[in-house]
A and B are shown apart, each in its own frame.
Chain A
Amino acid sequence: ILNVEQSPQSLHVQEGDSTNFTCSFPSSNFYALHWYRWETAKSPEALFVMTLNGDEKKKGRISATLNTKEGYSYLYIKGSQPEDSATYLCAFYGSARQLTFGSGTQLTVLP
């Protein structure tokens, strides 16, 4: 059974703060690491698909890094806004050819 861990489980920050979350995953049989944002009552929204060790991706104020050798990825949000409030999920895609999700980090940005 694959183990994909996310921390922290939940996080409250003030508007304007920068924050980051961690996703840890198996370092063997790695194909890709996906990040999603899931707002209440909406569909999960894809943020990034990362495939190469050392990858860094950016989308507006959100960025992510990837270390496949040690099995972790960081997601950063710069200058958090209330609309960033959501659950952030990472998912590992390996040789089993299916996505294994972590339990997510629930972010609340307080105005």
Chain B
Amino acid sequence: DTGVSQDPRHKITKRGQNVTFRCDPISEHNRLYWYRQTLGQGPEFLTYFQNEAQLEKSRLLSDRFSAERPKGSFSTLEIQRTEQGDSAMYLCASSPGGGRDTQYFGPGTRLTVL
């Protein structure tokens, strides 16, 4: 399968713990995006990478959130000291190029913070 994959699909954690999610984009895609989606809302942009460079991170929700894309391949999103308000679906997408290109989404990671 050559689509976007995310791991894990579900994560339950206790408040205060750190969590890390992984995204594997479509292999020839240069751009990789992270979004958060909460109930009743559309996906909310968090950050994106062009190859290994993180070009926009001002929309990350707080300094507890960080993302990496070493070697321009897979990416990780880490949330430190999780809070109940972090409970959401975290989506990853990839595209060949910029905003006029279709973004292909993964199935998401559902995070529940107890």
The distance in angstroms between the C-alpha atoms of A71 and B70, with both chains bound, is: 39
Q: How many residues of B contact A (CB 8 A)?
A: 24
Does B107 reach chain A (CB closer than 8 Å)? yes
Mark A76-105 against chain B: 1 for CB-CB distance below 8 A, else 0.
000000000000010101000111111110
Residues of A close to B91: CB separation below 8 A: 44
Establish whether residues A43 and B45, one from each chain, have CB atoms under 8 Å apart when the complex forms.
Answer: no
Q: Cβ of B59: which chain A residues have Cβ within 8 Å of it? A: 98
Interface presence of A59 (CB below 8 A): no
List of A residues within 8 angstroms of B103 by Cβ: 34, 46, 99
- Residues in B neighbouring A99, C-beta threshold 8 A: 33, 43, 45, 99, 103
Q: How far is the CA of A101 from the CA of B44 in the complex (A)?
A: 7
Minimum CB–CB distance from B88 to chain A (whole Å) comes to: 14
* 9 additional contacts (CB under 8 A) given A41-B107, A42-B107, A43-B108: A31-B99, A32-B100, A34-B103, A36-B105, A43-B107, A44-B43, A45-B105, A91-B42, A99-B99
Q: Which residues of A contact B (CB under 8 A)?
A: 4, 31-32, 34, 36, 41-46, 49, 51, 89, 91, 93, 97-104
